[in-house]
Structure 1
């Protein structure tokens, strides 16, 4: 306690200075979307420091940390993903200037590109909702898709205008490092998943789960079926001049990346330190002889392996960053 002098020589008590807590500077921030994706991280790592962040969802209000790694949960969908990610990315409770971000969650998968439990690191992240759409019954008879890009006049034409958040190309150096660190990870599987994948004829669908690279498509709408999947794949190719190879579908990633990009533009983080991982909990279309509605409602056995493998594969990269910080600290070019 100390004194200060007021006018006319009167002494008064002055409040002691309050020490500001040092912001947490994790080497890795893991972003999950709901509790079952978060649970393996909390169960397997010592993340005893809980940091409440204003702006996070009421049912996921804290970021869990240790000295090197933190895990946050956005809750599902574009609105929650963007809002929660922005809350953490802009919070003064963290110094994220050198942090690597790993988005780690589950997805649907194209059976020609992978199987239940497979892990796919994203090379491109494409928004599967920002376009024009005309129902098949109302579209011209010669149209091959119900999707028309923004500002275009027919399917397959390039965009005339856009929001600027339709496509994110991930840093190849970080992507390569993620694959190298995780490609030999032992993946979880289940008898139910093995039995269900055996119903498919595609070689990739019938194989055991593995680690791969492909394009993920984001949409608030949980779509399902071969026809929509083909349209989404074509949409991704159109937006990337044929570079995107669609394989997984999920409900958050463009929103999450947009929040991170805004924070990067504000000088809070480095957008070149972001990786997106999605693991397959279900196929995005039915097998031969199965209807789309039946496929959507099916218990494929992939949910458990997918949530576990999002941790195993994501953590393999996270621990590589932590253990080899001298290589990662300055960024991967």
Structure 2
């Protein structure tokens, strides 16, 4: 086999995927594990962040992708090429800070995402559709990814045991929206809330922003299809550093120009505190983790690339037997899924949210 020609330098148990230096540095200098003990230069990594960092035994590794989908996709694609690392049984922790939806949770909370949604394409323009609540007819296969529910539940349990510097950790389960374009404000945020529910057949709860996650997941999905990575061993986690919209009577530009600058360093502290706890737990490599955590839900992309039929997206929208909405909450907050129905064309419609109200859209007008 071709891959036998390469010499593997490490077979990590956990790989931390950081996005930019502030997020990466919080992992360094921790007494329990020295991530800078071994530095492996990987061809294709960003010139700014050319190395994968690992402990001396190779059990725990980390990289910094650089911001934006392009950097994330190229770095992760380079990582999974079987040159210097064996990632076939590695758990990947996508770990970063994010802007938060204040209607779901609050600053410094930690979100573990069931879904990651790419909102910058079909979220802005549902191509081929005639109404905002009609499923896009032209898709790119990267719009939605679903992660392992059982693994996420374990991660949430670990996070809740973390000790923070000055408060109790709030851990929630809600979804992340990926957009290269840095956005803020009520109108765009509500539009992406609507798209999240539409693209997940009503079960998604949008709460965090990202600029890289869907690109990272697409690279890991293709690597899984090639037998290089296990998509069932991925955790998507974001820590809330600032708000993605203004509060009532606050200037619309304040979340971008004001408060966010004050919260980022603080959020990194929280990120470090809780992630260290979970990394130690996963690093113990109990029999549960060594054997893998069986995914009882669908995992993968919108097209069923890894097998099975997605419970979201076109496979469930256009079949005669549409998906059943899943009841899921964000942390301790009860959030009922939005009702969906098929239009006369057989295309799924979803109730949408405009200006803080739930409305049903019928045809080309408002019902």
Q: Which residue of 2 aligns with 1:43?
A: 29
Return the alpha-carbon distance in structure 2 between the equivalents of residues 156 and 177 of structure 1. Answer: 34
What is the deviation of 1:125? 0.5
Residue 154 (structure 1) shift: 1.4
- Shift of residue 89, structure 1, vs aligned partner: 1.2
Aligned to 1:69: 60
Match of 1:171 in 2: 148
- Correspondence for 2:353: none
The CA distance in 2 between the partners of 1:189 and 1:151, in whole Å, is: 50
Counterpart of 2:175 in structure 1 is 215
| Structure 1 unaligned residues grouped into runs of 5+ | 1-18, 134-147, 191-207
- 1:89-168 aligned at under 5 Å gives the runs 89-131=80-122, 133=124, 148-168=125-145
Higher RCO by CA contacts (8 Å cutoff, separation 6 or greater): 1
Among candidates 29, 41, 53, match of residue 42 of structure 2? 53
Question: Which residue number corresponds to residue 315 of structure 1?
Answer: 276
- Render the CA deviation track for 1:87-129: whole Å, top value 9, x for unaligned: 1111410010100000000100011222221111111101011
Give 1:189 shift: 5.6
Answer whether contact 1:217 1:246 (CA < 8 A) is retained. Answer: yes
1:151 CA displacement: 2.5
The equivalences for 1:1-40 within 5 A come to: 21-40=7-26
Please say which structure displays the higher CA radius of gyration: 1
CA-atom RMSD in angstroms = 1.7
Residues 105 and 62 from structure 1, CA distance in 2 versus in 1: closer, same or farther, beyond 3 angstroms? same
Question: Alpha carbons of 1:168 and 1:228: their partners in 2 closer, same or farther (altered >3 Å)?
Answer: same
Q: Which residue of 2 aligns with 1:193?
A: none
In 2: Cα distance, 1:228 partner to 1:124 partner = 19
Tell me, in whole angstroms, the C-alpha distance in 2 between the residues paired with 1:36 and 1:101.
19
**Scaled by the length of structure 1, what TM-score is found?**
0.81
Going from structure 1 to structure 2, the CA distance change for 1:317 and 1:293 (only over 3 Å counts) comes to: same
Confirm or deny: 8 A CA contact 1:106 1:306 kept in the other structure.
Answer: yes
1:330 aligns with 2:291: yes
Quick one: which of 49, 64, 79 aligns to 1:88? 79
Bigger Cα displacement from structure 2, 231-240 vs 157-166: 157-166
1:183 to 160, 165, 187: 160
SS at match of 1:249: strand
Q: Would you tell me which structure has more helix in proportion to its own residues?
A: 1
Instruction: Identify unmatched segments of 5+ residues in structure 2.
Output: 295-367
Partners of 1:182 and 1:314 within 8 A in 2: yes
1:3 alignment counterpart: none
Counterpart position of 1:245? 205
TM-score by length of 2: 0.74
Deviation at 1:296, TM superposition (A): 1.2
Q: Hey, what does 1:234 align to over in structure 2?
A: 194
Post-superposition Cα deviations, 1:127-184, rounded to whole Å, max 9, x if no partner, equal: 0112174xxxxxxxxxxxxxx4232121000121311111011100110110111112
- 8 Å contact kept, 1:189–1:209: no
State how far apart, in whole Å, the 2-side matches of 1:308 and 1:291 are. Answer: 28
Any runs of at least 4 consecutive aligned residues in structure 1 with deviations exceeding 6 A, and if so which?
A: none
